[in-house]
Structure formats: C-alpha cells, structure tokens
Structure 1
Amino acid sequence: MKQTLSLMSLAFLLASGCGSSTDDGQNVTDFGGIDFCYADCGSVPPEAGEGDAAGQDGESDVPSVVPAVENPELVLKITGPSGNGYASVPGAQVSLSGLVFGSFNTIAYINEATGSSGEASSSPPYWQTDSIPLVAGINKIRVTAQGDQEMAEEAIFVTYNPGFFFPYPVEAKPNVLFQGEKQVVHVTVTLGPFGNMTGQSLELQQVDANGTVVAQLGNMVDDGAVQSSGDEVQGDGVYTWQPSITCQGPGPVYLRVGAQTRDFSGAQYRAYSAPLAVDCVPRLSQEACMAHQSTLKAARQAYDAAIGHGVQAARQAAIEAFKADPSVQESSSVGDTDGLWVAFNDGVLGALNIPTPGMRGPSDGAEGVITSALIDGSIAPLTKDTLLLSPFISEYGADDEIQVFGQIAAAKACPAFAVRGPYNNQAANLSRFRGMSHNGIVAISTHGGVFFKGLSKEAKERMRWSHKGAQEVLWTGEPVNCTALTKKTVTCTSNSQCPTGTECVVMQASYSGGSASASGVCVDSTQADIMSGRVVMGDATYGITPAFVLKHGSDEKYPQSLVYLGACSSFYNMTMASAFFATGAKTILGYTGPVTNEFATKTGGEFLANMVENAMKAGAAYGIGVQDPANPGSFFRILGARDLTISNSGILNESFETGDLTAWERDGDGRVITKLGTAAPASGKFMAIISTGLGFTTETGSIEQTFCIPA
C-alpha cells in the first residue's frame, strides 16, 4: 500500500531510445529492437545467500571476465574524512582513506604540522592510513602514491580543536564572486552539541588556502534579526553574518569561523572551523566567449573536412585551426591519444566532441581500467529521488537505456521513485547536472571522452584539479550561448527575473506594514564553472570535468547514491568515478572505453531494470561486467558497494538525522535545526520546523514523502 505522508503547520517541530515496450511473457522487454532483460534471464549470478552459487559465506561472487590490467594512469584520491581537501574532526587523531588506480609501490603520508609519517595499507583500489596524531589547529597531511614511472599526490587540511567540534560546514550565498566587484555574502554555520562557547557570537574570518588570516569580517550571531544580521531564526543554533566582500582573485576566497571556548585543561582559546572556498573568478566577456566558439567551430570544420584522409590528418587540421588563434595558450598535439582540446590565455578550456555514429563517443578512444572494485556492506540511497539525463537522445533514438528505465521506475508503485526526467537534449542542461547530488539515483546517457592529458601541470594546479593527468569529460545537452553570460550581478526575487542560465539566490528579507518580502541576486554559476576549469566549452555544447562533480557534490553531498554513467570512457582512468565516490555516491558504474549505443542500452538497461524489477543488489545486477563485442577491450565496470539496494519502500530520514530534508519534498518554509531556544529534539541531534514563514521564506510550509506500508 502506497501512502504519502504530508506535514503542514503554522509553526511546529518534528523530532528526530523511444518506442512502446511489449512483454512476451519471458521477462524480456523489446525496446527499439533490443531485447531488454530485467529479471533472471541467466546472465547474472543469484543474489547473495540464495543457493549454492552465492558461496558458502553468504556473499555473492562477482567474477572478473578477464585478468586485471593496469590503469592507464596512476590516480590517487583522498575520500575521507572529506573529499574536498578540508575537514574538521572531533578527536586528536585521524585516519585517512581513499582510492588509488594504477601501478604503485607505496602509499605514504606525512603530517607537515608534526612531521609524523607512515605508509597506508591498501587493498586496491581502496587504501587507509593508521591513526595520525594531530596538533591543535590546522594539520596539512600529504598523501603520495609512488610507482616505478609515476607519482600521484594529494593533500588535505585537517582542523582539530581540543574539546570543541564544528560538525557542519560553513555555507555561503552566493557562492560565486567576481573579481573587483563588491558583493554582500550571507554566511551561516550550524553548531551542534560538541563543546561550549564562552561568548555569544562567532568570529568570521577570511583566510588564505593555508589558514593565514587575511581579514576579520565580523561577528556571527543567532539573534533572528533578519534585516540587520541576516539571521533567519533566533535560537535555532544557526549563526549568521552578512559581510561585504570584494574579491581580488584569481582563486577562491576562503571563509572560516572561530569560537571562543576552553580546552580540556580549562584554558581559553579560539577554535576554528574547516574553511569554505568561495569562487572568485574574472568575468568572461561575451565577445571573448564568441571568439573562443569561433575557434572551436573552425577546428571542428577543419577536422570534418580532413577526416577522409584519416584520423591523424583530421587531428592535424584541427590543431592547426587552434594554433591560428593568437589567444590559444596550449592545445593538443598530433601524436596525443586523448581527444582534441585547447586552453585559451584567459583560462577557458575548450574541446571537440566528435562521436562516431552509433557510439557514445569517439571510436578511436583508448581503453582504460578493466577491474571492478566492490566493497561489502548493505546500504541504500537516502532518498528515492531519481534524476535521468539524456543529452543526445535525438541521436540515439530508441537506443537509450534512460528512456526505458524512466518508464519502469515511474510505473513502480513500491518503492515509489520520485522520477525527474528523462531530461532530453537541451533540457539536460548544466543546472540539472549541478543538481545531481540531490538524488539517490542518477542515470546518464551521453557522449564521453578523455581530454587534457598534455595540459601543463601549472594550468591544472591553477584550476585545483585533483588529478594532474588526463580528465574524463561528460557532455551535457546545453548549447554554448555566449549571450547568456552576465555582465554584472543583478538583484531578484525569483528565478523568473534572472537571465537565462542563472539562478535567484534569496538572502535578504524586509518587513513593512505587516508584510514581508525577500530578495537576492542572480548567480551565474556557469561563468564560474567555465573560469574555474569545471566546465569545458565544446564546439556545440558544454561538457563537465571531474572537478565539476567535486565542487557541486561538496556543496551538497550525494545521499549514498547509485550513479550510472552511460558514456564512452566514463571509467577510463577513474577520475570521474572517484569524484562521485569522494562526494558521497556509494555505487558508480561506467564504461572503460568506446561503446556502441546498442551495447550501452542493453547492458546498462539490464542493470538498472534488474535493480528495480528484480530487487537485486548492485553486485548481482551488475553480474560479470561484460565486454562490448564491437570494441574489444572496452568493458562495463563497477566501483563501490556491491550490496547497495534501491528496493527500500519505507519512510526515509524520518528523524532528519541527515541534518537536512533529504528524502522529503518541501513547499514553502521548512528546515532542519538542532534546537529552537530551549526546545531540543526528542531523540537524536535534529528536528524539523515548518511554519507560516520565517526569515527569507514568506510562504506557509509543508514537507511530504511517499512511502509504502506492508499489506
């Protein structure tokens, strides 16, 4: 029985390919001429614990169809305690964990604040350190994977405060600033029950990347004085301040919060949060954008005109078109094995999306890692929200697994998936890609490729890319529209008042004559993503890099999500999958090299449908990880939790212990807090409040969630 729980109140607290499908009665759906198996068709192993084939230990076997080979590059990623390079921890020790792909001899770490060092233990692709002693304050810990020919490293800044802990990140609206432009920024932080402040306010600071203080920005308060301090609700544990910031850049503005407290001996000191990086970028003029687009289109035309003489001749023609532009700083070389790319002298990156007909990308792309990486432990997404993106359905036609999965998931009564999409062609835009982390299931069918292997290390460091080698790119359906780039920040009260491609972020409220009004600014995230190397300008549409996933997944972590990447080379060197894993996704699937539409539709479609229709866990639905017969060496592969299930029909996040409204649909004013004055959660650390309008919200609130009750 499916039920929808809807809660409304004046103010009350809550404790913690296209075509019709036909069924022949054999559990096989015929969709566009492709047999689409979604039950036990003999191609996948049984679920763990079901019969002898599952093994004597009750765990499912997921065999490898071929011997493992080396990853094409050595890739290292820190995923815990944070995947974005900054963390705050409650204890005097920390254990780091992460991923590694490729051939290596050792993974070593050093805490530069103490000099303590050691080697991590590994069971590739996973690694973990022993407990690392910390000093009070900032600890920069560098991790290095060393191979015979390659070295990969990454650092994380870990903040430790004796007797005090900032459990929740600093947040800022807007999170995009433009060089030389003054902007009011609404900054908040939520305090939990971890230590006591000796004052009534928190100190807001601007610091550099290493934690050195640049400026004191003011005192954050929890006073509910929305028109002055910007604080929305008095006594809810959320502290707020609204400084005016003029960023100089290039590079982020780092914000952190300090609290006066006492250590274990009773001595007073100031505890600090982990910093928040707020984009500070120069504006990209519409004229410069158009010039870059002209160069990319010229290169594509040159490639197409020369392809009759072979791929190398076509590459040479495209590269000559790049180099004819004096604003080009770096570009591909003829002998490179990755896709055609260019770097302009203003920092903008460009690439050519040149798919082979019938393929999910170029047919001459290199194959990547072919091992599968699975971890044990039963787990489920924290929300049934499902996002389906198909930027090139007009090319694929019937050969698109996303359309099939959308029909199956939408028709399922229990569990009741909240299906968003499929968003096809231009509707699969950057805004929807930025919103991926709201969802428990993300499924994408698109073109993919590998680019920027030869881009200079200096350029990659300037863009703060985690990996300094080749980058996997997924193409969106959003056409490059230079006239949509904003020339200045404008105010707004709703998205309808913002230019195309921007979003109204409300951060101010005023009251007059008994009525309230809210306002904010239109945030141009596309411009910030382009100028930070997270979005690539194509000759037709935009593409996203792993840095895009890390940025927007760090702003709002993935709720233990299942992510399917139906694109060529989406698992080439694992940079994209690592970004999803580092930001909270638990199971990610993709393809190691070029794949045909037919293969991806059948293979990915069977996996997705098996998880819904046959209630299989990820490892069983994945099976043996098959090879595309049309592209030897290109395999379907999985990273993460093999026991992930999407068959949970019950209510999710019922006591709000995620710290937010994950799994709930909100209308009007609804939020999750740790306290309200003297009122505390009946159990756990969180409770929800819905009202007739508090702070910036002027509408009566409600939250609801659809779930199933056993008959």
Structure 2
Amino acid sequence: MKFQIRIFSLLLIFSFILYSGCNEDPVSPINPSGTSIGTIESNPNVLEVNNSVDVTFRFIKSAGIDLIDSLLPLFKVDASGNLTTQIGILKDNGNLSNGDEISGDGVFSGIINLTETSHGESRFAVQANYNNQGTSTLGVSQFYTIQVFSALNNSLITEITTTLSQAENTFINALGGNVSNYKTAMTQTISFLQSQPNISNVSGSDASTSIEAKFTSGLYGCISFSLANANGTVITRGGFPSDSAFQRRPKGPRISPENQTRGVNTFGAQHNAFENIDNPNLDPDIIGNRNVLIFAPYEAAFAPYNEREKIKSNLSDGQCQGFEFTELVNQDATVKSCLEMTKYGMIVFATHGSQGRWIYSAEIVDTNSSDYNDIYKPLITAGRLAIAEDVVISNSGGVQQKATVYAMHSSFFANLPGSFPNSVILNNSCESTMNADLSNAFTGKGAKTYYGYDKVVNSDFCVTIADTVSKRFARGLTTGEVYYNATDPSSPFAQFQISGDNQMKFSLSLMNGNFEVGTLEGWSKSGDGRVISQLGFVNPAQNSYMGIISTGLGFTVSSGSISQCFRVLNDQSTISLKWNFLSEEFLEYIGSQFQDYFEIRLITEGGQSIVLFRKTIDQIAADFQATEKNPGNLIYVSPGISFDQGDVYMTNWQNFSADISAYRGQVITVVFSAGDVGDSIFDTAILLDEITVQ
C-alpha cells in the first residue's frame, strides 16, 4: 500500500458517471473506424463550464493489443471525428502522482487539468502504435465523451429551498392542526407551487404526500411529508395511513432530523412491463456475483423495522458461504457512495422513494462541501439529483422534524458507469414500481430483475418481504420463485411487484475460473481483487486475462480476496489452478516478522473452514532456495514490475491441485486470499488463472 494515497485518494474517490447526451437516455460512445486499441474512462466525467478541474483519465488496453509505445498521447476529438489538440500523456508506471495504480497492468493513467469553455460534448481519444503481425501500426482508442454543463449558481439552490419552504408552510397552514386534512393541504400546496413563476411543472395529487417540482431553471425540487405518532415515531416508510392502521402500530423512539422516514406518493400510475438489456459476456440466467450492497440511509429512523441484519443472516446461513456485503448505513449512505453501484450482483434499497422516479439519500445538502462543488453540481444541473425537503409532521399537525437532502433520479442510475452484472434489485422504498422509470433505469444498465411496491409501503412489511426474499435466494431459487403475490396488510395496502426476468438465480457451478469474461463475473470480492490482461511482461497463464489479489496496490488500502461457491458433482474430485506470487518483501524481509502470505481455503455448508494451501514469504523462499542475500530460483522482475517501496521478485506460474472428492454432493466455497503480517508497507500480489474443478 502506498503512503501517497492520502494525497491522491480524493482524485479517485469519485466513480465514473457515463455520459448520456443532452437527454437522459444512455448513449453508446461514438467510435472511430478501424481497430480500437482500447477504451477510456475519466474521473469525473461530467464537468461545469469554466470550472478548472483535475481529471484523472485512464486508458484500458484491449486484450490482444501489443502496444509499442509506453507514453500514450491523449487528444481532443472534433465533431468530425478528427484528433486535434494533444492535452496530455498517459503512463502505465504505477505512479500515483499521475493517477496510475499498478505498473505494467495495461492501464495507462494521467491527471490532466481541464477547463471547458462551452457546454455540450467534449470528446477524447488515445493514439498509439501497436504491433500488427510484425508491423508497427498507428491505432486509436474508442472515442470517449464528457458532458459539460452550464455553471450552477448557488442562488438557484437557494431559490429551490426557499420555494419548498413556502410550500411546506402552505401545507402546515392548510392542515390547521388536524392531520386528517392532509388531502386538502396537498391540494393547496400543489396549487401554490403551480402558481409560482419559477416553476414549469408540478407532479402530485391530493392522494399523495410527496411532490416533484421542475423549476424554470431546469433543476428539480422534491418535498415529502410523513406522519409521526404521539411518541415521535414514523411507523410507515412515509405517508399518512388510515386512523385505524395508525393507532394499532407500536410506538418507538424519537427520530433525529437527519434520520427521517422515506418520502411517499400515491399516484395511480399503472405498473408496466420493462425491457431487459442483455450482457453478452454473462450467462443470461445467472446473477453475476454474490457481492451484496445494502443502502440504508434511514436505518435509525426505521428502527426497529430494519431488514439489513436479516438479509445478511439469511444469505450467510444458506448453502453458499460466498456472499460479501457492503453496508451503507445512515450518514454513510451518500450520493457519492452510489457511484460504484454497478459492481454488485444484488442491491437492496431501504430508503425514501417517490413516484417510481426518485430514491432518497440522507445526505444533507451543503453547498460548501467539496462533494457538492466537485461532484454534485453538474449532476443537479443534469437533472440527475434533486434538492429534497424531507418533512415529518407531528400528530398535532406541526413540523416535528425536517431536513434538506439529495434525491437521486432514475436518470442518475441510468447513467452510472459500466453495466450491472445481471443484478437483482430489491427497492424497499415507497412507490418504487408506481411507474417504469426506476425499473427501466436499472434494467437498461444490465440488471435483470427488479422488485418494488406500487404505493406507500409500511416498514414492517418491507422487512417481511426482505426476510422472505433473502431466505429464498439462499435456497437457490430463481427470481420468479423468490417472488410471491403479497399485499401490505396495513393502509394503504401496497402490493409487492416484480418486473424483468423470472429465471435469474445465483450459480452453484464454478464459473469464469479463467477470467476470460474480462471481469470478476461469478466471483465475490473483498479488498483488492481485479482482472487484468498483463502485469508488466507477465502474461496470463493462458488466453487473455488473469485474476490478481494483493495486500493493497495503488489506491486500494485493504488486502484482497476473491471467493466463489459451487456444488461438487459426483464425478468431480480435484480443484486445480495456476498461481504466481510477486512481492516486495523478497529478499530483504526473508527471516523477519514481515510475512505476507497466499492462502486457499474451503468453507463448507456448515461454516467449517479448511485451509488447502498457505505459503508465507519464508516458506516460499525455502521452496525456491532463496535467502536474504540470494534469490535462489526466484525471478527478479523490477523495474519492469514495481509496486511501491522495493524491488519485486516472483515465483513465476506454479501449479496447485487438491482432492475435494470428500465434498461430493455438497456446496462449498473456495476463497483465495492475499494476507499481510507485520506491516502494510511492502506490497505483495498473487496472480491467478486456470481455476478448474474436475
């Protein structure tokens, strides 16, 4: 792990947000004619006019392309597809000062200061020479587009919050201290907003307790009203239940302003069928991985009706022990935390929702924050984020709590980077299937199955659904078998709904053991685990790709592991693979307390952990007759391969196999881990390839 991470981590904390064009439908990048030598990404990739920003560009070399050049020029591209001005150089040198994490991995990086002077599109391309059957040929990358938006004046944010505050006062005055007047209050509030000259469109009705307003500036504002009981607890996840339903709910603790319940709307839109977008490299019926994201910004508000622990327990107690969980809870569930969402095979939202178009974070709007200035402003201008007033009404008709937070539009999710790996989405928020916008956004990015509710939903029903769904997934059922026709027993009686593919399930066969999909499809990841096409001069053991786990290379701070569970068939008896151990701890720290290691272990259905293989620095040194002063049979690979602190030696590709016939008929999980003992300064990486079960 590198000490420079503190200096440069902010440059990469942003996730890539794919350009969508002037509308909010995802658009494929325009590509040059001829052979593409690779693709480009940037961090960030939405910008404001006349705002000077350091942008981290990355060029990812295509598999099978043998580059001759080591310094790759990055060009602007004009409207006719011509490369014009060179704006910088990208390097594959492992130097964090130019944004590069690993030397020689086929990813070239550069940090380039950009100031775009007009709104619209800015396009970029890399040009480099490559070996084309012995002939040096000049190639060009796919064109990459950054959307540039007009500058956002903070006065427009003030205009939104002021108008929404006036709407809130209109609602409270119309209630007149009697919450049963909420329909009249909503009608008057909507009429007030419709009469404002700075608002072009208002979505809402007297059956609803949330409103969406589009301002003449093109920006969005949302306001939601939720009802609390005498004890200060919001029982539903938004909305005004009937008196009988409200009275029979149990009471709970008072909720802080930053942890309010989710917003609601009771529009009578029809539940629609949704289009599915295929991921051509993935098995069409298999959920891409067992990485699970639980997004729960209002967990404190929903207590005791929270689903997170039940989901974790149910999935972990099933046949497969290979689930990895990322939990974004309360104030950790920010907008920024959603920007890498496409790497998860299963996502659960436990938050506010509105109209099938909006998902709330609990992140308080702060126009002085770096995230607002560096990330959120162009997203607000693009209509992908709204300024939302989240208001809790006491049972006496006054404002109990309120907060100004960000709400994420369906277009925010439609323009996330990459594709979802055949993911399953459980949207435990109100009105999440009221219309098709959110479902279309996710399925348009590669998700296959989407679950939600047609209207306001109560928290305890959400917990029941999540409990049942996770138990059924843990049993290996398909998405259609997981679904069941259920209706919330309490007002307003939301219906649980499914859209998309009914045949998706988690795999119980070892898949992508050679990593030739080019991603970690099938593998759950913790810490630093990735797929690469090369590491310096070291190529995969076969074909185009290999896996890599490490003790924390580049900006990654934690040791890595990848895992996968599978059923051992009656004719299978052996697991085998190839591995290559590279470390900076050779030779200097042979015989010391600093002992990085590589471990392979199995986890049974019952949770028993069996170590199949474990080698430390000293044990590998002994196997290769290496000492502190003599490399023996270890291979010196620097400067062609360098991590951070010292020279690197490697074992080269080694074979491993183990007998697993004792587990025939059982589901087991295999875990490959890189470990750090003694310090986290000198890095170790293990390459993996040709993992098979026969």
TM-score bin, normalised by smaller chain: 0.5 to 0.7
- Which residue of structure 2 aligns with residue 531 of structure 1? 381
CA distance in 2, matches of 1:315, 1:698: 49
Matches within 5 A, 1:278-317: 280=149, 282-285=151-154, 288-307=156-175, 310=181, 313-317=184-188
Change (3 A) 1:315 1:672: same
Shift of 1:195: 5.8
Matches within 5 A, 1:47-196: 156=28, 159=31, 161-162=33-34, 164-166=35-37, 169-194=39-64
CA distance in 2, matches of 1:573, 1:181: 37
5+ long unaligned stretches in structure 2: 3-16, 228-234, 239-262, 390-402, 565-601, 605-662, 664-694
Question: CA offsets, 1:349-381, max 9 Å, x none?
Answer: 111123466255536322421658899976433
Shift of 1:478: 2.0
Q: Which amino acid aligns with 1:289?
A: I
- Which residue of structure 2 aligns with residue 318 of structure 1? 189
- Which residue of structure 2 aligns with residue 571 of structure 1? 433
Change (3 A) 1:630 1:596: same
Matches within 5 A, 1:198-597: 202-207=72-77, 212=81, 215-218=84-87, 220-222=89-91, 224=93, 226=95, 235-251=104-120, 253-259=122-128, 271-277=140-146, 280=149, 282-285=151-154, 288-307=156-175, 310=181, 313-319=184-190, 322=193, 328-332=198-202, 339-355=210-226, 358-360=236-238, 361-362=263-264, 364-369=266-271, 379-411=285-317, 414-421=320-327, 423-450=328-355, 472-484=357-369, 486=370, 501=371, 524-539=374-389, 540=403, 541-552=405-416, 554=417, 556-597=418-459
Q: Is the 8 A contact 2:149 2:381 kept in 1?
A: no
CA distance in 2, matches of 1:431, 1:155: 22
3-state secondary structure, aligned to 1:185: strand
3-state secondary structure, aligned to 1:611: helix
Change (3 A) 1:316 1:198: same
Q: Identical aligned pairs, as a percentage?
A: 21
CA distance in 1, matches of 2:500, 2:159: 42
CA distance in 1, matches of 2:556, 2:346: 32
Q: Which amino acid aligns with 1:617?
A: T
5+ long unaligned stretches in structure 1: 1-7, 10-81, 87-141, 143-151, 451-470, 487-500, 503-522
- Which residue of structure 1 aligns with residue 498 of structure 2? 638
Q: Which amino acid aligns with 1:704?
A: S
- Which residue of structure 1 aligns with residue 241 of structure 2? none
Q: Which amino acid aligns with 1:342?
A: A
Question: CA offsets, 1:206-242, max 9 Å, x none?
Answer: 346x665585234645463848876565543223444
3-state secondary structure, aligned to 1:578: helix
3-state secondary structure, aligned to 1:189: strand
Q: What is the aligned-residue RMSD (CA, Å)?
A: 4.4
TM-score normalised by L of structure 1: 0.59
Q: Which amino acid aligns with 1:159?
A: N
Q: Which amino acid aligns with 1:622?
A: Y
CA distance in 2, matches of 1:627, 1:375: 29
CA distance in 2, matches of 1:424, 1:243: 34
Change (3 A) 1:530 1:333: closer
Q: Which amino acid aligns with 1:546?
A: S
Shift of 1:198: 8.1
Q: Is the 8 A contact 2:550 2:560 kept in 1?
A: no
Shift of 1:273: 0.4
Does structure 1 residue 680 correspond to structure 2 residue 539? yes
Question: CA offsets, 1:472-502, max 9 Å, x none?
Answer: 1112222333443x4xxxxxxxxxxxxxx57
3-state secondary structure, aligned to 1:383: coil
Q: Is the 8 A contact 2:365 2:406 kept in 1?
A: yes
CA distance in 2, matches of 1:375, 1:241: 33
Q: 2:527 aligns with which of 666, 669, 682?
A: 666
CA distance in 2, matches of 1:174, 1:363: 33
3-state secondary structure, aligned to 2:271: coil
Q: Is the 8 A contact 1:442 1:564 kept in 2?
A: yes
Q: Is the 8 A contact 2:39 2:141 kept in 1?
A: no
Q: Which amino acid aligns with 1:277?
A: I
Q: Is the 8 A contact 2:19 2:147 kept in 1?
A: no
Change (3 A) 1:345 1:480: same
3-state secondary structure, aligned to 1:187: strand
Q: Which has the larger radius of gyration?
A: 2
CA distance in 2, matches of 1:418, 1:230: 28
Change (3 A) 1:239 1:419: closer
Shift of 1:682: 1.0
Change (3 A) 1:324 1:411: same
- Which residue of structure 2 aligns with residue 704 of structure 1? 561
Shift of 1:627: 4.3
- The total of aligned residue pairs comes to 498
3-state secondary structure, aligned to 1:524: helix
CA distance in 2, matches of 1:435, 1:332: 31
Q: Which amino acid aligns with 1:358?
A: T
- Which residue of structure 2 aligns with residue 64 of structure 1? none
3-state secondary structure, aligned to 1:549: helix
CA distance in 1, matches of 2:533, 2:276: 36
3-state secondary structure, aligned to 2:75: strand
Q: Which amino acid aligns with 1:365?
A: F
Q: Is the 8 A contact 2:76 2:83 kept in 1?
A: yes
TM-score normalised by L of structure 2: 0.60
Shift of 1:580: 1.3
Larger RCO: 1 or 2 (CA < 8 Å, sep 6+): 1
